[in-house]
């Protein structure tokens, strides 16, 4: 892309986009506000949505209330009563459900849940999680896999895989 094309693209990008009861494939702006909307992709500095479904978001500051998000990449993310697939952020506040959360700092409110949470620092109320990996973990967290179960699962999985490969080699290996 030439400098002239880049300049034209920057000039065409709106400062603020407000959407209500809309369905849009892609939004690029400095600030995006959406209410009762379906958006495929958002690229913005700041995003504030409610009652919305978003495929993917790349932003600096993200706030959602009663929303469904596929993938989120943000510096600061706040989700209230929302559901997310993948959340990757420097700081995350989650009040809802997520499949995977990867962040430096995570605040999870009571009754939040995640399948996988990986963070440097995790502060949580009473939450449920499949797997939690963190340097500093504070709160009442009920995990499906603790370190002993994860170690045992890895050992058993390795032994089973090794036996299957050995049996395959013995049964179907080349004969000289």
pLDDT tens, N- to C-terminus, the chain (176 residues): 455 444 544 556 679 999 999 999 999 999 999 999 999 999 999 999 999 999 999 999 999 999 999 999 999 999 999 999 999 999 999 999 999 999 999 999 988 899 999 999 999 888 888 888 888 989 888 887 777 887 888 899 999 999 999 888 888 876 65
Say whether both 112 and 176 belong to one domain.
no
**HSE value, Cβ hemisphere, 13 Å, CA-based, for 38:** 1
Q: Are residues 26 and 103 in the same domain?
A: yes
92 & 170 share domain = no
**Domain identity same for 30 and 77:** yes
Q: Are 123 and 108 in contact (CB under 8 A)?
A: yes
Q: Are residues 67 and 136 in the same domain?
A: yes
Q: How far is CA 22 from the centre of its chain?
A: 24
pLDDT of residue 21: 94
Which value, in Å, is the radius of gyration of the alpha carbons in the chain?
22
User: pTM of the full predicted structure?
Assistant: 0.76
CB 136 within 8 A of CB 117: no
Same-domain pairing of 93 and 157: no
83 in the same domain as 51: yes
- In which domain, by residue range, is 159 found? 147-176
Question: Residue written as tokens 């370190």?
Answer: 147
Let me know whether 152 and 140 are in one domain: no
Phi/psi for 146 (5° steps) reads -95, 180
Domain count, the chain: 2
**Residue 105 shares a structural domain with residue 78:** yes
Rounded CA separation 16/14 (Å): 6
Residue 113 shares a structural domain with residue 153: no
- Co-location of 92 and 171 in the same domain: no
3-class secondary structure, 101: strand
Q: What are phi and psi of 18, to 5 degrees?
A: -110, 125
């Amino acid at each position: 892309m030439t400098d002239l094309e880049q300049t034209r693209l920057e000039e065409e990008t709106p400062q603020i986009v407000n959407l209500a009861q809309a369905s849009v494939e892609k939004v690029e702006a400095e600030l995006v506000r959406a209410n009762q909307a379906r958006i495929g992709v958002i690229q913005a500095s700041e995003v504030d949505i409610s009652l919305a479904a978003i495929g993917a978001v790349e932003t600096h500051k993200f706030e959602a209330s009663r929303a469904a998000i596929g993938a989120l990449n943000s510096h600061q993310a706040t989700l209230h009563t929302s559901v997310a697939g993948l959340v990757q952020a420097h700081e995350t506040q989650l009040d809802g459900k997520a499949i995977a959360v990867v962040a430096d700092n995570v605040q999870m409110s009571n009754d939040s849940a995640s399948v996988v949470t990986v963070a440097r620092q995790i502060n949580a109320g009473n939450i449920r999680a499949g797997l939690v990996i963190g340097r500093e973990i504070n709160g009442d967290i009920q995990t499906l896999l603790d370190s002993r179960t994860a170690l045992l699962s890895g050992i058993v999985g390795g032994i089973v895989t090794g036996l299957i490969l050995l049996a395959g080699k013995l049964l179907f290996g080349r004969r000289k």
